[in-house]
Amino acid sequence: MPTFTVNVNRFDPYKNYRFLVFFGQSTTPVAAVSKIGGLKRSSDVIEYKEGGNALTRKGLGRTKYEAIMLERGLTHDKDFADWANAAQVLDQGSPSTSPKSLRREVRIQLLNEAGQPAFQYMVHRAWVSEYQALPDLDAGGNAIALEHIKLEHEGWEWDPSIGEPAEV
């Protein structure tokens, strides 16, 4: 079976530096995201022994999804701060905040060299558990100011509606 079914003359895998992130149903990508922690899940292993058998059997336990870190250069775009603040306001019992504003669907698209979506993953019911508004500041430094959010979520899945794009 070919590695690429549509672009049979392509031999190189996709690069990890071309991607977009979308919050909720927005069609506008979140600005300036420079790094996303990998999508990772693991399943517990349940070991048990049967009487009269010297083997230890192994069964599938619960699946856990690791939190996802997003990092971006500090700009005037308030997507990270607004979402992180929604959790804080809800925690303080503000009647103007709905729990619906806390959890969102997140889409992560991996793009090919032409900027076409090649893969899309859906992250379900994500919410901000950690927010860093400013990095350590250093007058003698020479670095980009970054902000971070840590997303807890209830799982992710590959979206089959995004297939291999035809490349010229």
Quick check: is 9 in a domain?
no
pLDDT at 33: 96
164 lies in some domain: no
* Residues 20/162, Cβ–Cβ less than 8 Å: no
- Confidence band of 151 (pLDDT split at 50, 70, 90): very high
Would the pLDDT of 94 be above 70?
no
Query: Taking residues 108-127, what's their average pLDDT?
Result: 96
Mean pLDDT of the chain: 91
Residue-wise pLDDT for 24-44, tens only, equals: 999 999 999 999 999 999 999
The count of structural domains within the chain is: 1
Q: Is residue 114 part of a domain?
A: yes
Show Cβ contacts of residue 101 under 8 Å, excluding neighbours closer than 6 positions.
86, 90
> pTM of the predicted model, to two decimals?
0.85
Residue at 35 is within a domain: yes
Give the residue numbers spanning the domain of 142: 19-158
Q: Is residue 167 situated within a structural domain?
A: no
Return the higher-pLDDT residue of 150 and 89: 150
Asked if residue 72 is part of any domain, the answer here is yes
Judge contact between 44 and 64, C-beta under 8 A.
yes
Q: What is the CATH number of the domain that holds 24?
A: 2.30.110
In a domain, 149, yes or no: yes
Average pLDDT over residues 75-88: 91
CA torsion angle 150 94 99 84 (round to 10): -20
Inside any domain, residue 4? no
In 14-164, alpha helices (H):
79-91
Q: How far apart are CA 26 and CA 55, in angstroms?
A: 52
